[in-house]
Amino acid sequence: MRDFYEVLGVERNADSRAIKSAYRKLAQKYHPDRNPGDKEAEEKFKEAAEAYAVLGDANKRARYDRFGHEATSRGGFDPTIFADFSDILGDIFGFGGGGRRGGRRPSRGADLRYDLRLSFEEAAFGTETKLRLPRREACDQCRGSGSAGGAPPATCQTCGGRGQVRVQQSFFTMAQTCPHCRGEGSRIVDPCSACSGEGQVVRERELEVSIPAGVDRGSRLRLSGEGEHGRHGGPAGDLYVVLEVDPHPRLRREGAEVASEEELSYAQAVLGCSIDVETLHGVEKLEVPPGTSPGKLFRLKGKGIERLDRRGRGDHLVQIRLKVPKPRDLDGEQLELLHKLAALEGVAVREGGVLHKVKELITGG
């Protein structure tokens, strides 16, 4: 049989904290639930458990240090040793320890989520809206106790009030939540008729919510205490309102900035012009200088969306596009002028199709 200090990988003068920490690491590594079917891991888990059963007890450790393995009374692996330190395994794997008492402890209510759709303008300027949502609330008739007439709950006969029962798992015994009292250690003898002993009922309520200006798609608003009520006097959960924003037919959002496109004719782009731009804050005049190229960006300061940190508004960006008409949309005079312009510029243009026929009509050739 290996030396217990060697099994846990600690020095002989290690304190109780170091011994407990070493055992926790080995238990996590070799636990059968994490190594299904691995016989070697199972044996190492048993070995670590035996070592901790001795070294984790001051009296047993003193005898072991003096007399070695002969001082231990166990002649092999005893599954009941887990009852002595199931709190360690509970911390690791998430179930309660065998020595813990059950009880109707206060517990926090569940958080809730509500998906809210807004228009582009509502997200930009903020809005007030009302939500209707169901949630679990304390029963008015029994005031959340679950018991008719307010009678106190009785001790659970299955677990004796401990909130846990022992079950055999593989080669050792383990503590699990009592299935009859759900870990509370007590049961309602005379359940409330309004809530069937749950202490809570589902109600639909109306809640007024203020949406701040500048929110965007995916923004989450946390309303503290507006989730489901807690049990046995525990605090309520929170309500998270997750926002979805509809697109705008003409405007595009980029953070706090708004972007749009404006089409200019060839003459407007070359000679310059003044155009009206629709923004979130009304129509704004934009002076386009002569010789403006397609793709040029203009910025209207402060005509975008208010920033959530309240540090002013973003801008409205205007991108220029060149409007190119189709020949069928032009009259003869316009086509003639285009051909003259092409001739003046010394550039070749298509002579076939509609343009050629018009040219023939004009020139008589």
- 237 and 141 assigned to the same domain: yes
CATH number at residue 204: 2.10.230.10
- The answer as to whether 211 is a domain residue is yes
Average per-residue pLDDT for the chain: 83
pTM, rounded to two decimals: 0.59
- Vertex 264 angle, CA 262 and 269, to 5°: 125
- 213 and 131 assigned to the same domain: yes
Summarised one tens digit per residue, pLDDT across range 266-311 is 899 999 999 999 999 999 999 999 999 999 999 999 999 999 888 8
Query: Of 245, 274, 306, which residue sits at a domain end?
Result: 245
- Banded pLDDT at 71 (limits 50, 70, 90): low
Q: Quote the domain boundaries for residue 292.
A: 252-322
Summarised one tens digit per residue, pLDDT across range 15-58 is 988 999 999 899 888 887 777 778 888 888 888 888 888 898 88
Segments in 56-109 forming alpha helices (H): 58-67, 86-93
- The answer as to whether 107 is a domain residue is no
CATH number at residue 37: 1.10.287.110
Query: Of 93, 124, 146, which residue sits at a domain end?
Result: 93
- 127 and 202 assigned to the same domain: yes
Percent of the chain predicted with pLDDT > 70: 84
pLDDT at 126: 95
- The answer as to whether 106 is a domain residue is no
pLDDT at 72: 62
End-to-end Cα separation, the chain, in angstroms? 115
Contact predicate 152/170, CB 8 Å: no
> Any idea which of 62-76, 126-140, 159-173, 238-252 has the lowest mean pLDDT?
62-76
- The answer as to whether 100 is a domain residue is no
- The answer as to whether 178 is a domain residue is yes
Specify the number of domains making up the chain.
Answer: 4
Q: 106: exposed, middle or buried (C-beta count within 10 Å: 0-12, 13-18, 19+)?
A: exposed
Summarised one tens digit per residue, pLDDT across range 199-213 is 899 999 999 999 999
Q: Which residue has the higher pLDDT, 319 or 231?
A: 319
Question: Three-state SS for 11?
Answer: coil
